[in-house]
Amino acid sequence: MRWSSISPPSLAVLLLLRTASAFYLPGVAPTDYNQGDPVSLNVNRLTPAVIASTQQVESLISYDYYHEYFHFCLPKGGPEKISESLGSILFGDRILTSPFELKMAQNETCKLLCTQTHDSRSAKFTNMRIWQGYNLNWLIDGLPAATLTSAVGDESTQFYSQGFALGSLTGGDGDKFRQPVLNNHYDIIVDYHRIPGRKEKPFRVVGVVVQPSSKKPKVSGDKKIADCTVAGDPVQLSESGNTEVTYTYSVIWMESPTAWATRWDKYLHVFDPRIHWFSLVNSAIIVIFLTGMVSMVLLKTLRKDIARYNQLDLNEDVQEDSGWKLVHGDVFRPPMNPMLLSIFLGSGAQIFFMTGITIMFALLGFLSPSGRGSLATAMIILYTLLGFVGGYTSARVYKSFGGESWKKNILFTPIFIPGVVFGTFFFLNFFLIWKGSSGAVPLWTMIALICIWFVISLPLSFTGSWFGFRAPAIEAPVRTNQIPRQIPEQALYLKPLPSMLLVGILPFGAIFVELYFIMSSIWFHRVYYMFGFLFVCYGIMIITCSTVTILMIYFLLCSENYHWHWRAFFISGASAFYVVLNAFIYWLSKLSLGGLASNVLYLGYSLLIGFLFFILTGTIGFFSSWYFVKKIYASIKID
Ligand SMILES: *[C@@H]1O[C@H](CO)[C@@H](O)[C@H](O)[C@H]1NC(C)=O
């Protein structure tokens, strides 16, 4: 964790945690070694990387390391699966054992791995992957093998980027004459740390860099000893015949002063920390501006309104002429389709708390990058457990709307949103299966997910609903008239679409820089860890959503339009439209995806994220407006 990137309050909490506890979280305890102890080298899937010349990604499909067309050397007895967390599997990690033999603090030069034969079909496949810039992902003692890179324009600061190249392109100037070359030799440079003063098992792995290269090694007669020093031609896979490839590796152990606890720091390079501060200041200004405006409206105008209305009531002959008081007999009329709205609000509350708690955990350092997929696992577990909150919210809201089909409400609350998410996921999974990608979620994981949902989430949600229906309905402070009022002609900015576009952009503005980094972490496989910023951004987004929605609802009521329920949900939720639009622009500018599957996957996931974001922000907007409307109508006297 880099201290510079964390906000002061979280830093304080973190320091407290660090100093108060010498315990390690499960799965992330250090492994200690004696000299010569075997160190595990496991292989993960191959992922597409950013192409240096264009700064774009050309594919989203990942492949199993032991995909039949790659012909990498197999360990004796075949590769074995390494157990992983649910989140890690869902996010596409497939970790298997490898034939590499690493011994702590023992250098090796040019060890022969095996010789494999590529036929023309597998050569075509592999060459294509080299063109698309695929990376190999290895894990050595749980640490991803990295490439040493430096920032563009700043060669002095070096940092690790995960993975290293499958191959490279050589020769020629134009793309036409360049040839893909397969890397068949790996220089594995492992940094180890010696714990001062310790006799037994003093060594720990603290850094791994792999420098791959392509050369034809000289293999001596008995095929056991290879010589990597000969400067042979690079290995090009022939697409018209068979090519023999000999794989070799060297291991160089370097002593390092880096302590185990900080071994992830080099991976967590902040590309430009200023941009985060800039965005934070930017969103803070939005929030100050908005809260200023809202408090002005609330404190000045409303107080004046309330005083005036209460005075008007005293001298009865004065006619009420305009303003929000006129709609007091309609404003608490239940909305159209109360069932759907309460289901949305139930799931929205669930997503709201899930996101908040996950970010908080991450901020406190519980979800470190070393626990692979821990973020996703935490989210799934939290969403499941928060089924109670979802059921309760949905039931209570539905009851307050005077809904009567409570059985339907109880049943659909835990089914609707998870159903949409799971359905989309299932559909997109077919594209991964079709492409032979390792990213496809295995059937067993799917079944496990459904089981978790049936056994834990569903009963919890039902229990929550039961409590929700038992709880008293939220009473309106004023009575609702029998006959609905006529709604006068509305100003343009209060019409549904313009008001949505107007309001939605502000919460989006509060988060879009962080969103950019989250997206590059998802699509470019970079580690995201700036949870301090994310936490503040989430708070700012919540405040922005509620204030700006309240403001718009106030204007709406002033123009005697009392259909505020769905409107509040939609204007706040409209920020999801900008999130999807942003994803679309990202698609055009940062990705040049070849093939149908990658494009469908990208758009599918973007729409899914947009939908969840819509539910989340809509819920925030609705509840704050509800609170506001109740407050202002409770404060006026009505005969
Ligand atoms: C391994 O080789 C490198 C470079 O040749 C050297 O600096 C290092 O000390 C060696 N490590 C061990 C444990 O012998």
State the pLDDT at residue 22: 34
Strand partners, 81: 96
Q: What pLDDT band is residue 161 in, cutting at 50, 70 and 90?
A: confident
Higher pLDDT, 173 or 389: 389
State the pLDDT at residue 25: 44
- Alpha-helix residue ranges (DSSP H) falling in 61-119: 86-90
* Averaged pLDDT, 146-153: 78
Distance, CA 166 to ligand 1 centroid (Å)?
Answer: 26
Say which amino acid occupies 631: K
Q: Is beta strand 143-144 parallel, antiparallel or unpaired with respect to 134-140?
A: antiparallel
Q: What pLDDT band is residue 224 in, cutting at 50, 70 and 90?
A: low
| Pocket of ligand 1 contains residue 107 by CB under 6 Å | yes
* pLDDT (tens digit per residue) in 411-431: 999 999 999 999 998 899 988
Atom of ligand 1 nearest to the CA of 106: 13
* pLDDT (tens digit per residue) in 242-256: 999 999 999 999 999
* Averaged pLDDT, 157-166: 87
Q: Considering only CA atoms, which of 348, 476, 462, 477 is closest in space to residue 395?
A: 462
Measured between alpha carbons, how far is 166 from 143 in angstroms, rounded to an integer?
19
| Pocket of ligand 1 contains residue 203 by CB under 6 Å | no
On the question of pLDDT at 20 being above 50, the answer is: no
For the chain, what's the residue count? 639
Pocket test for ligand 1, best of 254, 255, 256 (most atoms within 8 A of CB): 254
Task: Output phi, psi for 615, to 5 deg.
Answer: -65, -45
Measured between alpha carbons, how far is 569 from 489 in angstroms, rounded to an integer?
22
Distance, CA 499 to ligand 1 centroid (Å)?
Answer: 66
State the pLDDT at residue 8: 44
Higher pLDDT, 312 or 377: 377
SS3 21: coil
- Rounded to two decimals, the pTM is 0.86
| Pocket of ligand 1 contains residue 481 by CB under 6 Å | no
Q: What pLDDT band is residue 359 in, cutting at 50, 70 and 90?
A: very high
Distance, CA 228 to ligand 1 centroid (Å)?
Answer: 18
Q: Which range scores top for mean pLDDT: 76-80, 244-248, 575-579?
A: 575-579
Atom of ligand 1 nearest to the CA of 255: 9
Measured between alpha carbons, how far is 367 from 347 in angstroms, rounded to an integer?
24
* pLDDT (tens digit per residue) in 370-410: 777 888 889 999 999 999 999 999 999 999 999 899 999 99
* pLDDT (tens digit per residue) in 505-519: 888 988 888 888 888
* pLDDT (tens digit per residue) in 440-488: 888 888 888 888 888 999 999 999 999 999 999 999 999 998 898 888 8
* pLDDT (tens digit per residue) in 529-573: 778 888 988 998 999 999 999 999 999 999 999 999 999 999 999
In the numeric block, which tokens belong to residue 62? 């990942």
In the numeric block, which tokens belong to residue 440? 């496809």
Residue ID of nearest Cα to ligand 1 atom 4 = 252
How far is CA 490 from its chain centroid? 40
Q: How far apart are the first and last CA of the chain?
A: 62
| Pocket of ligand 1 contains residue 388 by CB under 6 Å | no
Q: Which of 77-91, 218-232, 300-314 is least confident?
A: 218-232
Residue ID of nearest Cα to ligand 1 atom 10 = 253
Pocket test for ligand 1, best of 39, 102, 107, 187 (most atoms within 8 A of CB): 107
Residue ID of nearest Cα to ligand 1 atom 6 = 254
On the question of pLDDT at 152 being above 80, the answer is: no
Q: Is beta strand 243-255 parallel, antiparallel or unpaired with respect to 185-194?
A: parallel
How far is CA 502 from its chain centroid? 26
Indicate the average pLDDT of the chain. 86
Q: Which residues contact residue 565 at a Cβ distance below 8 angstroms, ignoring those fewer than 6 apart?
A: 334, 335, 341, 622
Measured between alpha carbons, how far is 377 from 367 in angstroms, rounded to an integer?
10
* Averaged pLDDT, 2-23: 39
Count CB atoms within 10 A of the CB of residue 34: 12
Locate the domains of the chain by residue range: 31-262, 327-332+508-639, 338-475
b/e map of 304-340 (b: 16 or more CB within 10 Å)? ebeeebeebeeeeeeeeeeebbbbbbbbbbebeebbe
On the question of pLDDT at 4 being above 60, the answer is: no
Pocket test for ligand 1, best of 34, 253, 255, 256 (most atoms within 8 A of CB): 253
On the question of pLDDT at 264 being above 60, the answer is: yes
Q: Which range scores top for mean pLDDT: 101-110, 314-323, 617-626?
A: 617-626
- DSSP for 503-537 reads HHHHHHHHHHHHHHHHHHHHHS-PPP--HHHHHHH
Task: Output phi, psi for 203, to 5 deg.
Answer: -105, 145
* Averaged pLDDT, 139-159: 82
| Pocket of ligand 1 contains residue 253 by CB under 6 Å | yes
Residue ID of nearest Cα to ligand 1 atom 11 = 253
Residue ID of nearest Cα to ligand 1 atom 8 = 254
On the question of pLDDT at 142 being above 60, the answer is: yes
Measured between alpha carbons, how far is 375 from 447 in angstroms, rounded to an integer?
21
| Pocket of ligand 1 contains residue 34 by CB under 6 Å | no
Residue ID of nearest Cα to ligand 1 atom 13 = 105
Distance, CA 107 to ligand 1 centroid (Å)?
Answer: 6
In the numeric block, which tokens belong to residue 37? 């102890």
| Pocket of ligand 1 contains residue 420 by CB under 6 Å | no
Distance, CA 175 to ligand 1 centroid (Å)?
Answer: 40
Higher pLDDT, 397 or 291: 397
